[in-house]
């Protein structure tokens, strides 16, 4: 049985930034190896894990995707031993000053994101949050040594250690989207004792934060009949709008909108109610902001569903998630996979 908390803490302690996912992929591959029948890596670096079904050939297939890449920083230049930086994926520069980081140069180096005193900043940025182009990374090394060990283009990952909070909450960096990778792992674990008619492809996708390239290419290669995307969504906090955020620890969200097949939405809603798994409806009036954007329109189109795990402080080094929501999302996926039959596609209709 996979223990969720130690696995999640391990996953958020590995970098695996967008376009550079090898370190995190290797850890996920080792975790999934005893849970599946076959493992492979796509041309864009996504991890494909096949759990074969027991139905007659040719079997239909379900793809369950959770992106494994993470946001971070990249070195753009070196000035007097300090590193100038740019973002890799979307992040909020207001929370960066004072954050510990790891610079992945010729060897890994510790560093600290710092901001110059206000009087040394450009006049246009002496008040309010310091813009990213005016922030620096200090390694504590002399300039000559920095130039030998770091170069433009080197990656920088957050180094905030995980913090366990009461009520099964965990705080740390890269919970977007390693929390969903753990939910998918939990689903695979649950399926070990279940009969599943369809083949199930568990896919840890690359580059969701920047291009959606991993999801689109994996969906095109595997050509599933149905797809589920697990990702994080906006967790509520004081003064956050209730119609745009969702409570932590109260269950996953079920996406609803043009990016989601209405028949799948209804199936998950009925399944969650039957299993007494709490959930919230997440209205997605345009695209979902997830890998579903690419998967849904691959080839002739793939009916797709989106599950959200509420997360506070998204795209910061101190994201917060509930282990209860991770378990519930994983169980919901496992139960859906186990419910698939030879009649599923015939019964799945587009009804708004």
Provide the token pair at 286.
Answer: 């345009």
* pTM summary value: 0.96
Residues 218-260 pLDDT 10s = 999 999 999 999 999 999 988 888 888 999 999 999 999 999 9
Q: In this model, does residue 262 exceed pLDDT 80?
A: yes
Q: Please state, rounded to an integer, the average pLDDT across all residues of the chain.
A: 95
Residues 4-26 pLDDT 10s = 999 999 999 999 999 999 999 99
Candidates 38, 164, 190, 208; catalytic one: 208
pLDDT value for 149: 97
Burial class (CB in 10 A: 0-12, 13-18, 19+), 243: exposed
CA 16/CA 5 separation, integer angstroms: 19
Residues 266-285 pLDDT 10s = 999 999 999 999 999 999 99
Q: In this model, does residue 322 exceed pLDDT 70?
A: yes
Of the pLDDT bands very low, low, confident and very high (cuts 50, 70, 90), residue 88 is very high
* Cα separation of the two ends of the chain: 39
CA 171/CA 169 separation, integer angstroms: 7
pLDDT value for 285: 93
Q: Please give the torsion angle defined by the CA atoms of residues 293, 210, 62 and 27, in that order, rounded to the nearest 10 degrees.
A: -160
Q: In this model, does residue 121 exceed pLDDT 80?
A: no
Buried b (16+ CB within 10 A) or exposed e, 42-56: bebbbbbbbbebebe
What is the set of domains in the chain, with CATH numbers?
Answer: 4-70+173-347 (3.40.630.10), 72-158 (2.40.30.40)
Strand intervals (E) in 192-303 = 199-205, 226-234, 253-256, 280-283
Provide the token pair at 70.
Answer: 């993470």
Residues 97-119 pLDDT 10s = 999 999 999 999 999 999 887 76
- Confirm whether 208 is a catalytic residue: yes
């Amino acid at each position: 049985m996979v223990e969720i908390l130690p696995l999640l803490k391990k996953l958020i302690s590995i970098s695996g930034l967008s376009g550079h996912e090898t370190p995190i992929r290797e850890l996920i591959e080792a975790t999934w190896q005893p849970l599946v029948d076959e493992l492979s890596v796509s041309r864009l670096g996504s991890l494909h894990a096949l759990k074969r079904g027991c139905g007659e050939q040719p079997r239909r297939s379900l793809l369950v995707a959770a992106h494994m890449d993470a946001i971070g920083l990249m070195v753009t230049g070196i000035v007097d031993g300090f590193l100038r930086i740019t973002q890799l994926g979307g992040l909020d520069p207001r929370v960066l000053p004072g954050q510990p980081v790891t610079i992945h140069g010729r060897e890994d180096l510790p560093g600290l994101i710092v901001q110059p005193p206000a009087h040394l900043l450009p006049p246009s940025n002496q008040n309010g949050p310091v813009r990213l182009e005016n922030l620096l990374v200090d390694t504590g090394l002399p300039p000559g040594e920095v130039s030998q060990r770091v170069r433009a283009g080197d990656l920088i990952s957050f180094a905030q250690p995980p913090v366990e909070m009461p009520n099964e909450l965990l705080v740390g960096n890269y919970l977007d989207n390693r929390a969903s990778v753990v939910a998918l792992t939990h689903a695979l674990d649950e399926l070990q004792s279940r009969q599943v008619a369809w083949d199930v492809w568990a896919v840890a996708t690359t580059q969701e934060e920047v291009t959606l390239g991993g999801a689109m290419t994996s969906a095109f290669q595997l050509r599933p009949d149905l797809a589920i995307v697990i990702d994080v969504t906006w967790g509520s906090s004081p003064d956050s709008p209730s119609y745009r955020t969702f409570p932590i620890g109260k269950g996953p969200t079920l996406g609803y909108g043009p990016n989601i097949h209405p028949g799948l939405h209804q199936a998950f809603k009925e399944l969650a109610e039957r299993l007494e798994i709490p959930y919230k409806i997440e209205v997605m009036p345009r695209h979902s902001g997830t890998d579903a954007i690419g998967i849904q329109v691959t080839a002739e189109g793939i009916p797709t569903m989106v599950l959200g795990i509420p997360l506070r402080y998204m795209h910061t080094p101190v994201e917060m998630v509930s282990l209860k929501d991770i378990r519930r999302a994983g169980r919901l996926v496992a139960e859906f996979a186990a419910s698939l039959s030879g009649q599923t596609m015939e019964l799945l209709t587009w009804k708004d």
